[in-house]
Amino acid sequence: MKTIVIIPARGGSKRLTNKNNLLLGGIPLLAHSILYAQNNLKFIDAIYVTTNDEAVKKTAIHYGVKVIDRPESLSGDHEPTVSALKHALATIEYKVENVILLQPTNPLRTENLLEDAFTTFESKQCDSLFTVTRNQDKLGKIIDQKFVPFNYEIGQRSQDLAPLFYENGLLYITKAALIAKGIIISENAFPLEVNHIYANVDIDTLEDLEYAEYLIKKVSRLRST
């Protein structure tokens, strides 16, 4: 029974052309997730990139991971990620127990996050786990042209808000049997709280990429002092 990493990296990004191969910190965006997985091989049996893009395929091979050729029918803008994962599992010729999903658009992760997450996944005997971050914003709805507070009362301090969390996309761990049913996050999935500035990085625009670059340089400067 094996644990594998699947990194979905299709081509054809509309807002940021060739996104997965754009340089971040001197290496392709995709490479950050590959290298992160390769640093955790004591519990990972194989790493796959699923893609429909030849340039992405070359990058994956260059960094020493396996490639699954994703059909164009599963590579559209509105195709859910789980479709690519199901196709990948159907392609792999051996029994997979656990799938770790690393999205290349979330390239920055703390060093021990994946190991801690997998340890939690196993110790709690989860069928799925995903990372979440606490939201500190005062949220509301606009109804009939009026702002209606959602998670607070007018005048309430931010630090007194009832905790709300968002799915940050840093990583997911799911039983392969669930993915076969089209599920990544189950109803009883364990939400692993990660309150770190990296949780705010999701590369979709040039501004997102520039922000990630800034964080990499900042961390590098701090480590050198």
Residue 138, in any domain of the structure: no
> Which residue range forms the structural domain that includes residue 200?
2-132+166-224
Question: What domain count does the chain have?
Answer: 1
Distance of CA 145 to the CA centre of its chain: 36
What CATH number does the domain containing 117 carry? 3.90.550.10
3-state secondary structure of 166: strand
84 is a domain residue: yes
Residue 188 lies in a domain: yes
**Residue 145: inside a domain, yes or no?**
no
- Is 157 contained in some domain? no
pLDDT computed for residue 165 by the predictor: 93
pLDDT of residue 198: 95
- 14-35 exposure pattern, b = at least 16 Cβ within 10 A, e = fewer: eebeebbbeebbeebbbbbbbe
Cα(34)–Cα(55) distance, rounded to whole angstroms? 15
Q: Flag whether 187 is in a domain.
A: yes
pTM (two decimals): 0.91
CA-nearest of 85, 80, 60, 59 to 70 is 85
Q: Does any domain span residue 177?
A: yes
Predicted pLDDT of residue 1: 67
Report how far residue 152's alpha carbon sits from residue 77's, in angstroms, rounded to the nearest whole number. 35
Classify residue 143: in a domain, yes or no: no
Q: How many CA atoms lie within 13 A of 58 on its CB side?
A: 3
pLDDT tens string, the chain, 225 residues long: the values are 699 999 999 887 777 889 999 999 999 999 999 999 999 999 999 999 999 999 999 999 999 999 999 887 777 777 789 999 999 999 998 999 999 999 999 999 999 999 999 999 999 999 999 999 998 888 889 999 998 888 887 877 777 777 889 999 999 999 999 999 999 999 999 999 999 999 999 999 999 999 999 999 988 787 776
The whole-number pLDDT of residue 167 equals 95
